[in-house]
Structure 1
């Protein structure tokens, strides 16, 4: 696909260090079943002006999976150029980020937490709002005072 789009520089992120090393020619390929694939990959690599392989350990492959998902859903209609994707990694987990309080002074998750704690709703809400709270509560669980 990258060749069809006339891409001349490519970053390949993979979680299988052995295969990356085999494609780069650093290690020999002994498995006959994958030898033809490695040879094909090596021939394709020569068609790029620059190609870089980056190993991502399986434990950290969420990033590679996310990139693959993004790549599979973006449509590039008649475009020979794709703008680079700018990604910034946070130094701390999202739960450390500041969340503004709602105008009533309560957190955005207050209704969900109350429902999970007591199976109760705020007074005066509609049946539709109750249904929404129940649906949203399915994505959370409460451990003592902490909502996950």
Structure 2
């Protein structure tokens, strides 16, 4: 159920920022094959999750679900480590994490939540929708 809830949260976030094409990668063989309708789902609780993931998936122009075995997914271990270190005051909230694969080492910075109660990516969303920079920001 936790894997389905994570997938649903990710799909909703992608829809919220108007993503049209998406590739969902998971080390959960069960989730991927159930969502693709390649494996039957008998558990009534899981059926509700599968249906919701499929409804959300229908809202994308193109979406692919890909399975990567846990042994080949070092990102899963890295994310599990990050999650174990972060405690959010609202236990129902999960901060989105963007992962990029690079040829060189990458450096990351802590992103703080805006004080106005808007998500951290609101300026990016406004820029993508309207082409407007946040107030006080230059082209540089």
Using structure 2 for the length normalisation, give the TM-score. Answer: 0.50
Report 1 or 2 for greater relative contact order, CA contacts < 8 Å, sequence distance ≥ 6. Answer: 2
Using structure 1 for the length normalisation, give the TM-score. Answer: 0.47
Structure label with greater radius of gyration: 1
